[in-house]
Structure 1
Amino acid sequence: MTACVHYQRHDDIGVIRIDNPPVNALGHAVRSGLLDALDQGLADDGAQALVLMADGRTFIAGADIREFGRPPQPPLLPEVIARLEACAKPLVAVLHGTALGGGLEVALGCHYRVALPGTRVGLPEVKLGLLPGAGGTQRLPRLVGVDIALDLITSGRFVPAEEALALGIIDAIDATDTPLDAGLGAARAVLEGQRTARRTGELPAPAADPEAIARHRARLEAEAPELFSPFRCIEAVAASTDGSLAEGLDRERELFLACMDSPQRAGLIHAFFAARAPHRVPEADASPALTRIALLGEHPLFERLKGKAGRTGIELTDRPDESTQACLIATADAACDCPAACLRIALQPAEGIGRLGEMDADLVLVMPPQGALMELVATGASAEQQQAVASALKALKQAVVVSRCESLLAALHRAANAASDERCAAMEATSLLLAEQGLCYRTSDIDLLAVEVLGYPRHLGGPHRQATLSASATSETSP
């Protein structure tokens, strides 16, 4: 296996470089490689300081999703970060792109943090039903205080570099062209006494802030009382004010494992994976790119598409000709302007939609009653044609789920509206029918539409997942 963490010395500064595309995720090979490279740097008598950086478009963007649901392999991330923080030589982290989750926790374990312009940092684990489990709930409050730490950790929001600098999460922003140059410059400044390195875990514990804790708890009880992990985040951050770092880390680990055992964690991760590639048509071979699309009639979507066309290589026009490949048709009376050889894509609202197979269209783009996620239904188009349209919409920054024959979203919408008091149960029953009829390419697409458009509880994962779990539980308990 090719090494994905490398060590090299530049004059008297050792550089630890992560190269694990596409997002330098913290998989087992990276965690092991970091310790090996750190040992090399510590053993290198010519290196007076160390720099930790990453190749590619981003710093460490978080955990390796390929390891989700699998037993963890040592070294675990808390051990890696503890070793980085204990490094006897000044250790500078250079952030660019994003430093999220475990990526930010790695940076917090370093002694000095410099970011390139445009960098964003955050601890979004709460969105997956977890909490930062590698020291984030203990080290971040030592830098920013309890109130701000609670805001960032319970929301999971991304923080731009300028705000991160003002809050004290990072120490500097450097407009140097490359992470390597920024890291070498910061390390040189530390060695020359122009900048001060510090170990976050050795900073004093943050002052207790019961008012902030009460305020954030009240906000969560009003906004999301059914969720588990945000309240565990509060407990973990509160523990940072009591006793030593080691005691706080122990409490954080207890709460992290409680979140791992929560059914909500599995539901939220299911929803996360459902959103990864819903525009892909499994049966499609390579499809030609659409570069010229006509927008016929008037629809609010058309203005959004025009605003995103910029550098996509897709030309949008309201005057189709022999070079037009597809027409987006807003109204039935505009359909006559679509050349016979073009793909015909009809826009339809999810509410009150009829049978799609009876429409004069190759595809139907079903518009949601709210939200931005649309559904592209193949009624007469081939898999390759549907994929070409879905890829074009994605290039135009429009989130889309692909399906076939009839609309998943419309069926879920009808079921939810017909049973206003039992919306979730109605969507669950309908999801089983939709899957049985083969209208979806992936059952997770049903879940995604229900969660993102119709307000099905995200922490349950979606109606089909929940209905399947309920059916399985009933089967196991039946005599």
Structure 2
Amino acid sequence: MSVHYQRHGNIGVIQITNPPVNALSHAVRSGLVNALEEGIADTEADALVVLAEGRTFIAGADIREFGKPPQAPLLPDVITQLEACPKPLIAALHGTALGGGLEVALGCHYRVALPGTRVGLPEVKLGLLPGAGGTQRLPRLTGVERALEMITSGRFVEAEEALEAGVIDAISSASTPLEAGLAVAKEILAGNQTPRITGKLPAPAANPRAIASTLKQLNQQSSELFSPFRIIEAIEACVTSDTLQEGLRRERELFLACMDSPQRAGLIHLFFAARNPHVIPGIENASAFHHVALIGEHPLFERLKKAAQRAGTTLTSEQSDATELCLLAPNATIQANAGCAVVALKEVGTDNDSDTPLRLVIAANDSLVELTKISAEPLVQQRAALTLKALRLNVVVSQQQSLMETMHAALQQSSASEARSSMEQASLRIAQEGFCYRESDIDLLAVEVLGYPRHLGGPHRQATLMDTSLPAARQEASP
């Protein structure tokens, strides 16, 4: 069971168990409704607590259900039932409460969080808006200005700020969510704390200045985006609607409009592209190297040194018999037949090519690095990629020729007005030559490193959408 109910004294506990991040799958949504009904019917339970097992509360939607027809109960209906609970209902948060996870918490009557908890509504990053009451309930707690900033940015908010903003009611010193939830429930039953049913709070005061300021900022920075402007409309509906239900209906209309937007498909495509781009297809049971030599000097090496202890990696500045992997700074050298895997760093756009079996291509913003296999065995490349990943680098793997270098060269040879089309044509050449393991890796690097517009999903996605002669399987349709 993904959700189960049990009673602790006179307090019922609804516990979610859906590892690894307790995502809101159909089983969890159904389980919440069933456990809630059980708790309401339990005559010996005077209050209820919702919490989750593992390292986090609910981290959002279940990505396995993206693109599939929705199954009842839908999340808005689940949250409506939670909010209507006749008994005090406490959400005990830890880890993260994101997207639908925070919306579940907003539907409860009191929110207590453990230290280190982060909350947020990041749907805008997928071309969406919170579709289960987030745009209607959050402003009732925080006011319009704070809700606008949180939802249009999609940022994660630390527990202390969430408390100050009114998103949560308390930060507990308890060691577990169960202890925190039970303690609050007892305080509420004793009359020492007062629950707040968010949907029954008055609509927030109108704030036309905050609306105008947000619109101005979006028009200046993100005028091509769709969902941020729909978020503003949804929050305006929170202010102007006569009832919560009216606001929720408007939110749902705007949510569905975002779902139908091409931008949503592009952003979802990138979301999946960012999952495990360091994994080489067909290579199994590979492990990271644990003894790494950093030869020469480079700013990237300082980042690796900071991450080494947590990764369990031994870093040295010289090669030894124990060395399994050498990273060479540009212009650094190593003895021939080094007896270990060798990766040479190359800054994109420079001419310092080397004849090493592996090459690590880096850019100025180094949000992603690219590990290109020139002549190494795939297993060696995979082990090197796992090592870099353990050292907190976001790695994309490629073969024969760097994807980043190829697209950067195309950009350098084109005018600003031709930049997009140049990258799109380069992406088709990359895929045709087989330089990428996955065509989505092209899009990920183009967006994160080379500035291709995020909402379009990447140059290869756009090129294949426009070229109807390509086989459907090559078009990597987003879910």
**1:442-453 alignment to 2 at 5 Å?**
442-453=438-449
Alignment of 1:103-252 (within 5 A): 103-242=101-240, 243-252=242-251
Checking the alignment, whether the CA contact within 8 Å between 2:295 and 2:332 is kept in structure 1 is no
Aligned counterpart in structure 2 of residue 423 of structure 1, from 419, 425, 430: 419
Matched AA of 1:454? L
**1:391 counterpart residue number:** 386
Deviation at 1:287, TM superposition (A): 1.9
Structure 1: distance between partners of 2:469 and 2:144: 41
Matches within 5 A, 1:249-260: 249-260=248-259
Deviation at 1:283, TM superposition (A): 2.5
One-letter amino acid of the counterpart of residue 398, structure 2: S
Counterparts of 1:188 and 1:340 in 2: how far apart (Å)? 66
Residue identity matched to 2:465: L
CA–CA separation in structure 2 for the residues paired with 1:151 and 1:59 = 23
Whether the 8 Å contact between 1:108 and 1:200 is mirrored in structure 2 is yes
1:188-337 equivalence runs, <5 A:
188-242=186-240, 243-336=242-335
| Alignment deviations for residues 345-371 of structure 1 (CA, whole Å, 9 cap, x no partner) | 1111110347x6xx4312000111433
Q: What are the Cα deviations for residues 258-281 of structure 1, in whole angstroms up to 9, with x where unaligned? A: 000000000011111111111111
C-alpha contact 1:283 1:383 (8 A) present in aligned 2: no
Which residue of structure 2 aligns with residue 35 of structure 1? 33
Q: Aligned residue for 1:436?
A: 432
Q: What SS does structure 1 have at the residue aligned with 2:372?
A: strand
TM-score with structure 2 setting the length: 0.96
Query: Is residue 287–residue 386 contact of structure 2 (8 Å, CA) maintained in 1?
Result: no
Q: Secondary structure at the match of 1:94?
A: strand
Report SS of the residue matched to 1:441: coil
Structure 1 window deviating more from structure 2 (379-388 vs 76-85): it is: 379-388
2:358 to 360, 363, 375: 363
Superimposed CA distance per residue, residues 186-210 of structure 1 (whole angstroms, 9 cap, x where no aligned partner): 1011100111012100000111111
Give the RMSD, CA atoms, in angstroms. 1.4
Question: Residue in 2 aligned with 1:405?
Answer: 400
Classify 1:429/1:183 alpha carbon distance in 2 versus 1 (closer, same or farther; 3 Å): same
Tell me the amino acid that sits aligned with residue 151 of structure 1: E
Secondary structure of 1:311's counterpart equals helix
Provide the residue aligned with 1:467 in structure 2: 463
- Cα distance in 1 for partners of 2:374, 2:469 equals 36
Matched to 2:412, the amino acid is N
Structure 1 segment 42-53 matched on structure 2, within 5 A: 42-53=40-51
Give the Cα–Cα distance (whole angstroms) in 1 for the partners of residues 414 and 190 of structure 2.
Answer: 70
Counterpart contact for 1:322–1:339, Cα < 8 Å:
no
Tell me the TM-score normalised to structure 1 length. 0.96
In the aligned structure 2, how far is the partner of 1:352 from the partner of 1:160? 40
Aligned to 1:20: 18
2-structure distance, mates of 1:13, 1:29:
24
**SS state at 1:50 partner:** strand
| Number of positions where the alignment pairs a residue of Structure 1 with one of Structure 2 | 470
CA deviations 1:30-70 (Å, max 9, x no partner) are: 00000000010011000000000000000000000011111
How far apart, in 2, do the equivalents of 1:79 and 1:360 lie?
60
Q: Which residue number corresponds to residue 343 of structure 2? A: 345
Q: d(CA) in 2 for partners of 1:285 and 1:341?
A: 23
The structural deviation recorded for 1:340 is 2.0
Alignment-mate amino acid for residue 273 of structure 2: A
Alignment partner, residue 86 of structure 1: 84
Rounded to whole Å, the distance in 1 between the matches of 2:149 and 2:326 is 46
Post-superposition offset of 1:298: 1.0
1:455 matched residue in structure 2:
451
Question: Contact 1:363/1:381 (CA < 8 Å) preserved in 2?
Answer: yes
CA contact (8 A) 1:320 1:339 kept: no
The reply to whether residue 380 of structure 1 matches residue 375 of structure 2 is yes
Q: Comparing 72-81 with 313-322, which one deviates more in the overlay?
A: 313-322
Percent sequence identity over aligned pairs:
61
The letter for the 2-side match of 1:266 is A
> For 1:25 and 1:353, how far apart are their aligned partners in 2?
46
Give distance in 1, aligned partners of 2:469 and 2:187.
Answer: 61
Assess if the C-alpha contact under 8 Å between 1:371 and 1:452 holds in 2: no
CA distance in 1, matches of 2:154, 2:250: 20
Q: For the residues of structure 1 that align with 2:287 and 2:444, how far apart are their CA atoms?
A: 27
> Once the 2 structures are TM-superposed, how far is the Cα of residue 310 of structure 1 from its aligned partner?
1.8
The alignment partner of 2:310 has SS state of coil
1:125: how far off?
A: 0.3
Amino acid of the structure 2 residue aligned with 1:252: E
List alignment gaps of at least 5 residues for structure 1.
Answer: none
After TM superposition, the runs of 4+ consecutive aligned structure 1 residues lying more than 4 A away are 473-476
Measure how far apart 1:96 and its partner are: 0.3
Instruction: Give the secondary-structure state (helix, strand or coil) at the position aligned to 1:472.
Output: coil
Q: Give the aligned residue type for 2:190.
A: E
In structure 2, what residue type is equivalent to 1:457?
A: P
Distance 1:135 1:367 in 2: 42
Give the Cα separation in 1 of the matches to 2:288 and 2:270: 29
SS at match of 1:334: coil
Q: Extract unaligned runs of 5+ from structure 2.
A: 473-479
